[in-house]
Amino acid sequence: MRLLNKYIKKILFGLFLVVFTGIITFPFLWKFLMSIKPDSELYSIPIKWIPSSISFQRYVNILTTTSLPTYIKNSLIVATTTTLICIIIGSMAAYSLARLDIRGKKIILSLVLAISMFPAISIVSPLFLILRDFGLLNSYLGLIIPYTTFALPLTIFILTSFFRTIPFELEEAARVDGATYFQAFIKIILPLVTPGMFTTAILVFIRSWNEYLFALTFNMSDSMRTVPVGLTMFQGEFAVPWGDISAATIIVTIPLIIGVLIFQRRIISGLTAGSVKG
């Protein structure tokens, strides 16, 4: 009886896992199915779950005849530059907060925390006017600057906690050996937090890649659109081209998913360091 009970429990747990992962992955798998179905079956009613033939022609069309490659290029430039600037400025700030004797640390940290909660909408109107006055609408810089600002809190939090894990004796030893404070930072401590920087870089990159509100508002010309905004504009004039949208969605999410799978441990540790521990 006990054995049977245990068996039933195991089956129920397995069932739960299947349903749980099924619900999580189904929408994405469905989108993939839509992208490879032949046109004739795309709009058939009732829906055909198993296509009679599959074709990857839509992927070729998307990459050769639409602006998607431009959107991808724009997103790559903006997200990569944001990540680089964020890591440089963020690790400087985090080092200062974690290991140097400066005044007002508490105030600065709460300020940084407050920024991480700022609703983007509350600053979008002045930023629009400022960027317009500087001629930075429809430019990469117009996105990189606000993205950096909003990714800085996350960067500073994660890196501060990484910097704190390194024994303080290291700097003291470096000082005894005649290194200046700056040299101790650059040559001794910074190389030790490379894993932390890498984790942070992944998170900042994904954030910047996915951002929508600023990208929609500041970069309106088609040639400067980023991926999320560009995809929503894929609407077609008369009918929604669901097959094409599906293919485009898959093209831009597959690299993200592969990246996430490769770096999942780092991402999870970064996420939990950034938000659970605050």
Scanning residues 143 to 162, which ones bind other proteins (CB under 8 A)? 145-146, 148-150, 152, 156, 160-161
Q: Does 278 bind other proteins (CB under 8 A)?
A: yes
CA distance 89 to 228: 26
Q: Does 133 bind other proteins (CB under 8 A)?
A: no
246, 247, 266, 270: which one binds other proteins (CB under 8 A): 246
CA distance 74 to 79: 8
Q: Does 102 bind other proteins (CB under 8 A)?
A: yes
Retrieve residue 200's tokens. Answer: 């942070």
Nearest one of 233, 240, 199 to 219, comparing CA atoms: 233
Q: Does 210 bind other proteins (CB under 8 A)?
A: yes
Nearest one of 156, 245, 218 to 193, comparing CA atoms: 156
Taking the complex as a whole, the smallest distance from the CB of residue 57 to other proteins amounts, in Å, to 19
Residue labelled with tokens 């069932």: 15
Output 54 or 129, the one with its CB closest to other proteins.
Answer: 129
15, 54, 100, 173: which one binds other proteins (CB under 8 A): 100
Residue 198, number of CB atoms within 10 A of its CB: 13
- Of 58-66, 133-141, 177-185, 193-201, the segment contacting other proteins by CB under 8 A is 177-185
Helix ranges (H only) for the chain are: 2-36, 39-42, 57-65, 68-99, 105-117, 124-133, 141-164, 169-176, 181-183, 194-210, 213-218, 227-232, 242-262, 264-271
Q: Does 165 bind other proteins (CB under 8 A)?
A: no
Output 192 or 260, the one with its CB closest to other proteins.
Answer: 260
Q: Does 227 bind other proteins (CB under 8 A)?
A: yes
Taking the complex as a whole, the smallest distance from the CB of residue 272 to other proteins amounts, in Å, to 4
Q: Does 120 bind other proteins (CB under 8 A)?
A: yes
126, 167, 169, 221: which one binds other proteins (CB under 8 A): 126
Nearest one of 271, 100, 72 to 180, comparing CA atoms: 100
Nearest one of 149, 153, 152, 147 to 79, comparing CA atoms: 147
Q: Does 106 bind other proteins (CB under 8 A)?
A: yes
Retrieve residue 206's tokens. Answer: 């994904």
Residue 189 identity (one-letter amino acid): I
Q: Does 176 bind other proteins (CB under 8 A)?
A: no
Taking the complex as a whole, the smallest distance from the CB of residue 150 to other proteins amounts, in Å, to 8
Q: Does 170 bind other proteins (CB under 8 A)?
A: no
Number of residues that bind other proteins (CB under 8 A): 99
Output 55 or 259, the one with its CB closest to other proteins.
Answer: 259
Q: Which of residues 54-93 bind other proteins (CB under 8 A)?
A: 89-90, 92-93
Nearest one of 251, 200, 195 to 62, comparing CA atoms: 251
Taking the complex as a whole, the smallest distance from the CB of residue 74 to other proteins amounts, in Å, to 14
